[in-house]
Structure 1
């Protein structure tokens, strides 16, 4: 949940009302996510989805990697900007929920470009030779630092990486956090800021997005 959603819902509605509308398939997916999942807040929000789509369309990537599919909302946003022969690989470990993204991926006009896998992202990154133009990571926060280390060799100059939830409901301001996820997110943000191979900016969109570009 974003600061505005919690503290100023009117502003949040204003922002949504003055952004490009989401495709009908995303509206239906968002609705079903709230109807059928126990943690619907995990879905990428309206504004974040539009950011992912615009960024993807600007870059026109050939290879996208997504770590953390959930119900596939962000996947369907990212795939809109792929080159015609491009591919998005999206990874998750939740087999019980897999039916939902599969349903909407099959309905999508981009279905042939989506490679949905129930697979551990760390193992995938250790065994793939692919180089990715665009990476979106919205998964288990305890592994964010390891994901960053594993993804670096799979990038080229100009590749873009986005880490979601990097403000972690404001918990990153805690000096000595006890929660492991908070510790790892703080460590990631510090590592990224100091890594001379990247330039980055944390966007205060929803729960924070760390936007990185490989130099």
Structure 2
């Protein structure tokens, strides 16, 4: 949920009404996510989905990595920009929910380009030798710092990385946060801002997206 959704729903509706329409399949997926999951707010949603789609189309990446599939909404948005020989690997650990994203992946025009794995992302990143053009991370916040450290060697100059929920409902403004998740998000934002190998900007979209480009 965004600050606008909580404090100014009229503005949020205005933003959605003045953005490109989401594909019919995504609209159907979004509806089913709210019907069948206990935490539907975890979905990337309309505005963020269009951001992911536009960035992917601008980059036309050949190799995309997503950490945190949930119901597959962001996956399909990122897939919109893939070239014919492009692919997206999406990782999650929730076996019970895997049927839902897989159903929509199979229905989509990108089904042959999506590699959906039920696997711990830390294990995957330690084992893979792949280089990624575009990375989107929306998973367990307690591991954000480790994900950043593990993903860095798997990037090339020009690669783009996005971490979601980096404003954490405003909790990042707490001086001495007690929650481990808040501590890790604050540490991540500090690490990225201080890392001379990246240029970055935190976008105040929904719950905040740390958008970074490797130099």
Global fold match (TM > 0.5): yes
- Kindly indicate whether residue 4 of structure 2 is the aligned counterpart of residue 4 of structure 1: yes
1:34-183 matches, within 5 Å, as: 34-183=34-183
In the alignment, the residues of structure 2 paired with residue 209 and residue 191 of structure 1 have an alpha-carbon distance, to the nearest angstrom, of 15
Q: Deviations over 1:75-103 (max 9, x none)?
A: 00000001111110000000000000000
* 1:38 match: secondary structure: coil
Distance 1:99 1:110 in 2: 17
* Partner of residue 15, structure 2: 15
Structure 1 Cα separation of the partners of residues 178 and 10 of structure 2: 34
Query: Does the residue aligned with 1:109 lie in a helix, a strand or coil?
Result: coil
In the comparison of the two structures, how many residue pairs are matched? Answer: 215
Q: List gaps (5 residues or longer) in structure 1.
A: none
Q: Does 1:24 align with 2:24?
A: yes
User: How far apart are the structure 2 equivalents of 1:83 and 1:136?
Assistant: 18
Cα distance between partner residues in 2 of 1:107 and 1:177: 43
Task: Give me the whole-angstrom Cα distance separating, in 1, the residues matched to 2:85 and 2:213.
Answer: 23
Under a length normalisation based on structure 2, what TM-score does the superposition of the two structures give? Answer: 1.00
- Between the aligned partners of 2:8 and 2:120, the Cα distance in structure 1 is 38
Alignment match, 1:194:
194
- Large movers: runs of 4+ above 6 Å: none
Superposed CA RMSD in Å reads: 0.3
**SS of corresponding position for 2:80:** helix
Query: Which secondary structure does the structure 2 equivalent of 1:81 belong to?
Result: coil
Q: 1:177 and 1:12 mapped to 2: Cα distance?
A: 29
Whole-Å separation in 2 of the counterparts to 1:139 and 1:80: 21
Could you state the TM-score of these two structures normalised by the residue count of structure 1?
1.00
